């Protein structure tokens, strides 16, 4: 897949709810929050894991050497996004809880200036914002390797899936063709996307090199992965439960991704 800017996946899921769109692409946590909000959708596709495509950034001169060093510090991230799950996993891995840090929920456009100006100690962010922030003096404290898959998910309105399945299948086939072409032609892909994303081509290339992954079919294992995220968010009182997200997985288009 490409590296979308995803400024607000909640807006995308709300558009699905309103019937304004039929298909959309989101990160790891938005389907969970949308399901908790009773928004109707089906999960019809995913991507290969992209753990290197999200990370915790700190200023190198602050002396942080591990995530555990952020205890008592201010950490910024976009609420309900893929990096929200990364934060949960990092806390678990370091025997910490949300009470051990000061969380500041900021959208990417707010997070970058807060990080640059030192208003927050760390910023948890995804590509291409991650690549844009990789400036001299910025250190990658941790990424999602071994912690979170950071997959992309293709969501579709139930009516589109049931009543316009041929159109959905045709879209997914074309989407796969374009995605596969981009992976096979990284320089052309970057030169095409850079002006669309309004970021420098070298930054686009760096983000896509680690974050552009092929499409993949949804499977029972994908449902289990999402359910584990959902159950963790419920346990942390980040969303109300119970939520059965496994039932949202619809594999009728899986042949497109084989």
For residue 105, the 8-state DSSP code is E
Q: Do domains 9-50+151-257 and 51-143 have the same CATH topology?
A: yes
CATH architecture group of domain 9-50+151-257 = 3-Layer(aba) Sandwich (3.40)
Closest to 256 measured CA to CA, from 160, 149, 178, 159: 178
The pLDDT value given to residue 5: 41
Residue 53 CA to residue 131 CA, distance in Å, equals 9
Burial class (CB in 10 A: 0-12, 13-18, 19+), 85: buried
pTM of the model: 0.92
E strands, the chain, where? 23-26, 42-47, 54-59, 74-77, 102-105, 122-126, 138-143, 153-156, 215-216
Say if CB 59 and CB 74 are below 8 A apart: no
Closest to 71 measured CA to CA, from 115, 143, 121, 138: 121
Which residues of the chain, if any, have pLDDT below 70? Answer: 1-9
Domain coordinates in residue numbering, the chain: 9-50+151-257, 51-143
The SS3 of residue 244 is coil
CATH number of 51-143: 3.40.190.10
Query: pLDDT tens-digit profile of 236-247?
Result: 999 999 999 999
Query: pLDDT tens-digit profile of 31-54?
Result: 999 999 999 999 999 999 999 999
The pLDDT value given to residue 258: 82
CA dist 194 → 72, 133, 202, 214 (Å): 38, 16, 9, 19
């Amino acid at each position: 897949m490409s590296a979308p800017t995803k400024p607000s996946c909640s807006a995308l899921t709300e558009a699905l709810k309103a019937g304004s769109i039929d298909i959309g692409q989101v990160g790891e946590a938005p389907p969970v929050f949308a399901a908790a909000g009773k928004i109707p959708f089906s999960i019809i596709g995913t991507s290969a894991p992209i753990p290197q495509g999200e990370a915790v950034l700190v200023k190198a001169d602050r002396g942080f050497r591990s995530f555990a060093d952020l205890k008592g510090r201010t950490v910024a991230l976009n609420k309900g996004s893929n990096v929200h799950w990364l934060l949960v996993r990092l806390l678990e891995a370091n025997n910490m809880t949300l009470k051990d840090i000061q969380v500041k929920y900021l959208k990417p456009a707010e997070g970058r200036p807060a990080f640059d100006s030192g208003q927050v100690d760390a910023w948890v962010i995804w590509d291409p914002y991650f690549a844009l922030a990789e400036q001299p003096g910025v250190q990658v404290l941790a990424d999602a390797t071994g912690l979170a898959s950071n997959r992309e998910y293709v969501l579709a309105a139930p009516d589109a899936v049931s009543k316009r399945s041929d159109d959905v299948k045709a879209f997914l086939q074309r989407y796969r063709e374009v995605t596969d072409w981009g992976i096979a032609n990284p320089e052309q892909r970057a030169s095409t996307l850079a002006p669309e994303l309004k970021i420098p081509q070298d930054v686009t290339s760096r983000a896509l090199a680690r974050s552009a992954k092929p499409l993949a079919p949804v499977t029972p294992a994908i449902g289990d992965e999402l359910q584990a995220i959902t159950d963790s968010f419920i346990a942390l009182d980040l969303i109300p439960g119970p939520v059965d997200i496994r039932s949202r997985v619809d594999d009728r288009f899986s042949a497109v991704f084989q």
